[in-house]
Structure 1
Amino acid sequence: MSITADVTTGTAAARAERVTRVYGTGATGVTALDEVTIAMPRGRFTAVMGPSGSGKSTLMHCMAGLDRVDGGEVYIGDTALSPLGDRRLTALRRDRIGFVFQAFNLVPTLSALENITLPMDVAGRRPDAAWVDRIIDTVGLRRRLSHRPSELSGGQQQRVACARALASRPEIVFADEPTGNLDSRSSGEVLAFLRGSVREFGQTVVMVTHDPAAAGYADQVVFLSDGRIVDRMEAPTADRVLERMKGFDTAPERGPGENS
């Protein structure tokens, strides 16, 4: 039985209403999301978890406007994404959404500072210097701003990526397995920064993860299985999340783009 994870629309930074996403057609089609309804509350840290092939990465990609839905609707604030053309959707992602991905996605020829301000530079907007300074101090890379990604550790690169996601003051930050390539110390640094951005800046963060320890940094965890929301957990701990995850049977891969 699917659980609807919803909150009052006015408090949601992003929401999905009866969203369906199918990969392939006919007998070979795979339903990655099956009429999912969920809202991500403003100013909170939400972790999305589930077994491999559960639909968690697909859900994040659809809610972030990186993938189109086959049914239902996704909203950023009160803006529906389906009616938007490619240009308006690109502008919305640039201006209202921040992204942090497992692979960092930094430009190797740019310095750390240039990577942080890149989205605003591309948009032709002047960064808010005071805000960017605050983010830089919070992320703890003041002395490494002139370094290129190859001169930074994995944890430092991911902290640059987190700072870049926050520098334009987005309405919501989506993070897809942001600690997947990091050791435990670097993972803790990145997760503490994301947690701090919620507590100190009122940021909204949605993180897809398979790691119970990472989920323990969140305010709430939403669990998916077979493309449906099956449970929620408030004030999670790593042990409680691990115990809940043990209840899931191993699921087959669901389709292209859903590897986690």
Structure 2
Amino acid sequence: MSAILRDLPHTNHNEAIAASVVSGVKQYGERGTTVRALDGVTVDFHSGGFTAIMGPSGSGKSTLMHCAAGLDRLTDGRAYIGGTELGALGDRELTLLRRTHVGFVFQAFNLVPTLSARENILLPLDLAGSAPDPVLLDELVTRLELRERLAHRPGELSGGQQQRVAVARALVSRPRIVFADEPTGNLDTRSGAEVLDFLRTAARELGQTIVMVTHDPIAAAYADRAVLLQDGRVVDDIDEPTAERVLDRMQRLGR
């Protein structure tokens, strides 16, 4: 555990699990108009695994990601990053944990337009007051084919290049887990495939834990595992998913 989190509440929760939700419930709205987005979800995300979260619109997949990542709080149940229960943390502690142990990749890239690609990549480390690992930074820049683009600002990059910068930013601090929310939603087929291929490589060769929310069965096929939600509940958990298996299951859920 890093020094910045040394005093955070800690349990003996299995350290081979990068993140988990246990009996998670999330409700929105007031009495009489309550919507239960998560309804008793229990799911583990194993260290070094690449998991796709899928489900019909309104199934709770984005809510699950937000609660597992500490971007939102459960109404009931428990969420963990490593051995730390998120519900036991105050807002400042939760911010420190996300900054230190969690990476994010969003559909809209979320790059700072006035910063260069290199500055965007290093932004999480700058905010934490940490120096980059030069070996890791060089490997990310090389694998993501960004070396010739490091001085460019986001407006000078293609969508695929911007998302590769966002992926490098998520990985450069060696987070315990990376959450990717529809990371290929704004990309063409080729650029999307390049990003997905690297996320798979990051899990298999770099040991990075990745959880990806997607509606696309083809994207889910890049993952090691697909967790399917419906009406706020986990209804299937598919190892080594293929696009065909996931699409068939999604169609059956739709019916």
TM-score normalised by structure 2 residue count = 0.94
Which of the residues 115, 127, 132 maps onto 1:127? 132
1:43 aligns with 2:48: yes
Query: 1-side partners of 2:56 and 2:173: how far apart?
Result: 33
1:72, distance to aligned residue in structure 2 (A): 0.5
Runs of 4+ in 1 over 6 A off after TM superposition: none
1:200, distance to aligned residue in structure 2 (A): 1.2
Give CA deviations for 1:118-160 in whole Å, capped at 9, x if unaligned.
0000111111111111111111111100000000000110000
1:25, distance to aligned residue in structure 2 (A): 1.7
1:210 aligns with 2:215: yes
Matches within 5 A, 1:13-52: 13-52=18-57
1:10, distance to aligned residue in structure 2 (A): 3.8
Residue aligning to 1:185: 190
Which has the bigger relative contact order, CA under 8 A and spacing at least 6?
1
Give CA deviations for 1:37-77 in whole Å, capped at 9, x if unaligned.
11001111000000000000000000000001100010001
TM-score normalised by structure 1 residue count = 0.92
1:229 aligns with 2:234: yes
Query: 2-side partners of 1:84 and 1:44: how far apart?
Result: 26
Which of the residues 117, 122, 147 maps onto 2:152? 147
What's the secondary structure of 1:193's corresponding residue? helix
Amino acid at match of 1:109: T
Residue aligning to 2:10: none
What's the secondary structure of 1:229's corresponding residue? strand
Residue aligning to 1:201: 206
Amino acid at match of 1:95: T
Which of the residues 172, 178, 181 maps onto 1:176? 181
Query: 1-side partners of 2:69 and 2:119: how far apart?
Result: 24
Residue aligning to 1:104: 109
Runs of 5+ consecutive residues of structure 2 not aligned to the other structure? 1-12
Runs of 5+ consecutive residues of structure 1 not aligned to the other structure? 1-7, 251-260
1:239, distance to aligned residue in structure 2 (A): 1.2
Residue aligning to 1:4: none
Query: 2-side partners of 1:131 and 1:210: how far apart?
Result: 31
Amino acid at match of 2:229: L
Query: 2-side partners of 1:19 and 1:156: how far apart?
Result: 36
Query: 1-side partners of 2:136 and 2:36: how far apart?
Result: 42
Q: Is the 8 A contact 1:116 1:161 kept in 2?
A: yes
Percent identity over paired residues:
63
- RMSD of Structure 2 on Structure 1 (CA): 1.0
Query: 2-side partners of 1:65 and 1:112: how far apart?
Result: 26
1:27, distance to aligned residue in structure 2 (A): 1.4
Amino acid at match of 1:59: L
1:115 aligns with 2:120: yes
What's the secondary structure of 1:137's corresponding residue? helix
Give CA deviations for 1:85-136 in whole Å, capped at 9, x if unaligned.
1111000000000000101000000000000000000111111111111111
Q: Is the 8 A contact 1:17 1:38 kept in 2?
A: yes
Amino acid at match of 2:82: G
Residue aligning to 1:9: 14
Amino acid at match of 2:127: V
Query: 1-side partners of 2:150 and 2:58: how far apart?
Result: 38
Q: Is the 8 A contact 1:49 1:210 kept in 2?
A: yes
What's the secondary structure of 1:224's corresponding residue? strand
What's the secondary structure of 1:89's corresponding residue? helix
Query: 2-side partners of 1:184 and 1:173: how far apart?
Result: 22
1:11, distance to aligned residue in structure 2 (A): 2.1
Amino acid at match of 2:223: A
